[in-house]
Amino acid sequence: MSFYEVIRFALRGLSANKLRSALTMLGILIGVAAVILLVAVGNGSAKAISDRIEALGTNTITVMSTGRGGSSSTALTVPIANALVDPGLAPDVASVSPVVTASASTMTYEGSEHSVSSFVGTTPTWFGASNTPVGTGAAFTADDEAQGRRVVVIGQTVVEELFPGVDPIDKQVTVGGALFTVVGVLAQKSSTGFQDANDTAVAPLSAVREVLTGYGSLNSILVQAKSPDKVDAVQSEVATILNQRLKVSATTTATANGGSSTPYRIQNASQLLATQTETADTFTTLLGAVAAISLLVGGIGITNIMLVTVTERTREIGIRKALGAPRRVILTQFLIEATLLSVLGGALGVAAALIGSSFEIVGVKPVIVPSSIGLALGVSIAIGLFFGGLPASRAARLRPIDALRYE
Amino acid sequence: MTPRPVLDVRDLTKVYGTGEATVHALAGVSLTVERGDYVAIMGSSGSGKSTLMNILGALDVPTAGSYHLDGVDVSKLADRQLALARNRLIGFIFQAFNLIPRTTAVANVELPLAYAGVKPKERRRRAMAALDVVGLADRAKHEPNQLSGGQQQRVAVARALVTEPALLLADEPTGNLDSHSTADVLEVFDELSAAGRTIVLITHEPEVGDRTKRLIRLVDGQIVEDTRQSALDRRPVGATTGRHTA
């Protein structure tokens, strides 16, 4: 009896029980698809985080003060920021943008109110350095900053809240009791974190300090390097200047990044990236573990159905043996049935996962991990084969009369 | 030259259980069936007739004794050859029909041929011929649950004879059938016998036993009566021309 014939027998066996075959495949499908999709979601969120950090600009460093409202000698100030623009000491610095941030400042326009989660006061170089392009209108200019003009560039969320269906350019909004003229709208930014990256407004540093934050210290200084590979050089140049200005002893400079002994902290986007990727990897592992459990449960389902299928057909095996079917043929038939079920179910599961991954799931665009496909398929097929094959070989070994009498 | 008997069993015993619970289902049965014979084995329940049938059909193995089927010593066969013997030498008809469910009549009849390695086209032709013999060629595409009990049993008969076996064994073939269906099936057996087939059946219905050429009574695992009966009480003729289809 040829192998082709045995395959036809297996197909006939499967089609004789269409509903059960379909349900078995559905079980495998769900198990496989769940594993692939969950891992893809974990991976996708990791990718989204790293993309977002990369969007911040990998050629910038951020200097932040570690002294919380402490003595003025350790605070970051505008003169310190200006000192960083020094072609002699810091030849690789492209631009320096001092930043003050006012959180939750209320902006009103014609009676509607919106609390802007991040109101940034800075210089025009910030737009380029922080990778925040202006969509419509224009950014404010260095002249606006120098004159302290009250102009503002607002994010998309603010536009939606305050100007539904209205062009916001040249409209006047009130912030902290002062009128600001909207000169531009920021381009839509992808926000994947908990904070809405579009719920923001950017105004000249001088204006924000005058109206909202006062003339205290800066929140941070964004320093842009001339190219991404100069970031490390810029970091040490900035550290040198800051140590000079803030009178930090040279021995502590080695631990300048985030070290607790310095009054400032230099954050480098690539370091941030490494930390965040680590976090995301943990997340992926967690999701993978959940998925593995669902695969295990799916596997037990497959096991159960295979056992029932074969046990229920012990009598049929007896009939076939009585008609002269050799043990090998019976075993092959049931093995092929099990293989077809698990392979087809697995393949459909992969297809379902691939289709599912083209949609956003809880705000995350899943990114398929190829190895998860192999793993999920492999496990489901192995389970199907083992638990389809084991009872089949037991039944095929029975004497026909015992198989026929089986109830 | 004496023709080789189809069936030749010597001192067959079958013991179930051990110790106190030992049951001697067969206590030394010797039996020879010549080609073309039509034998009924009768006995009350527990007489060992089903056990004998299962051993003759190579579905079960005897505890002791020899069993030659068409000259082949079945008791010495390994699993592989045993499967071959069941396929080529024996056509078995069960009381419960035992058709494969959700499979058409013609596919059921084709099954033994498929295991014998016959090509699909030839298989279909021979299966249809066998169904024609039992008068069910027009029901070839029906599944077992669309057929009456008598029709199912006739499909099972077609399946048993499609490989042209040396021996047709029927285990209470009419046990699950009403009198009308019983008549249909027995008619098929009569025709097959007339065509020279060797048939051994077991039954507890006298009207079935009466139609055969030879009647064997089994009591407590032993043969107590072996008679040739009626006008057919003679050595079967045409023993050498036995193997052709009706």
Domains located in chain B, CATH noted: 7-232 (3.40.50.300)
Interface of B with A (CB under 8 A): 54, 57, 59-61, 79-80, 83-88, 92, 94, 98-103, 107, 111-112, 114-117, 159, 163
Q: Which residues of chain B have pLDDT under 50?
A: 1, 231-246
Segment A125-149 shows an average pLDDT of 84
Burial degree of A142 (CB within 10 A; 0-12, 13-18, 19+): exposed
pLDDT given at position B198: 93
pLDDT given at position A68: 53
Disruptive mutation site among B51, B98, B99 for chain A (greatest number of A CBs within 10 Å)? B98
Q: Is A19 on the interface with B (CB under 8 A)?
A: no
| pLDDT tier for residue A74 given thresholds of 50, 70 and 90 | low
Burial degree of A37 (CB within 10 A; 0-12, 13-18, 19+): buried
Nearest Cα residue in chain A from B160: A323
Asked if residue A114 lies in contact with residue A162, where contact means CB atoms within 8 angstroms, the answer is yes
pLDDT given at position A350: 92
Segment A189-218 shows an average pLDDT of 78
pLDDT given at position A162: 86
Asked if residue B36 lies in contact with residue B197, where contact means CB atoms within 8 angstroms, the answer is yes
Phi-psi region of A11 (alpha: psi -120 to 50; beta: other; left: phi over 0): alpha
Q: Pick A324's closest partner by Cβ from B98, B103, B112.
A: B112
Asked if residue A203 lies in contact with residue A119, where contact means CB atoms within 8 angstroms, the answer is yes
Dihedral sign for Cα B75, B80, B81, B82, please.
positive
pLDDT given at position A193: 55
CA distance B234 to chain A (A): 32
Report the DSSP beta bridge partners of residue A101.
A120
pLDDT given at position A256: 44
Enter the tokens of residue A224. 């842009």
Report the DSSP beta bridge partners of residue A224.
A60, A95
CA distance B88 to chain A (A): 8
Instruction: Compute the distance between CA of residue A271 and CA of residue A274 in angstroms, rounded to an integer.
Output: 5
pTM, to two decimals? 0.64
Is the CB of A320 less than 8 angstroms away from the CB of B111?
yes
Q: Which residues contact A53 (CB under 8 A, 6 or more apart)?
A: A269, A272, A273, A276
Segment A32-49 shows an average pLDDT of 83
Q: Pick B60's closest partner by Cβ from A325, A329, A399.
A: A399
**CA distances from residue A29 to A41, A209, A301, A376, B215 in whole angstroms, order as listed:** 18, 59, 11, 10, 60
pLDDT given at position B235: 44
pLDDT given at position B158: 93
Disruptive mutation site among A319, A320, A331, A404 for chain B (greatest number of B CBs within 10 Å)? A319
Average pLDDT of chain A to the nearest whole number: 81
Instruction: Compute the distance between CA of residue B201 and CA of residue B57 in angstroms, rounded to an integer.
Output: 11
Domain ranges of chain A: 3-52+276-405, 67-262
pLDDT given at position A261: 59
Instruction: Compute the distance between CA of residue A281 and CA of residue A42 in angstroms, rounded to an integer.
Output: 8
Q: Which residues contact B163 (CB under 8 A, 6 or more apart)?
A: A324, B87, B88, B91, B112, B113, B116
Question: Does pLDDT of A371 surpass 80?
Answer: yes
Segment A98-112 shows an average pLDDT of 83
Q: Is A405 on the interface with B (CB under 8 A)?
A: no
Cα angle at A81 between A80 and A85, to 5 degrees?
A: 110
Asked if residue B202 lies in contact with residue B214, where contact means CB atoms within 8 angstroms, the answer is no
Q: What is the pLDDT of residues A255-285, one digit of tens each?
A: 444 444 577 888 777 777 777 778 878 887 8
pLDDT given at position A57: 65
Q: What is the ipTM of this complex?
A: 0.85
Q: Pick B87's closest partner by Cβ from A315, A318, A324.
A: A324
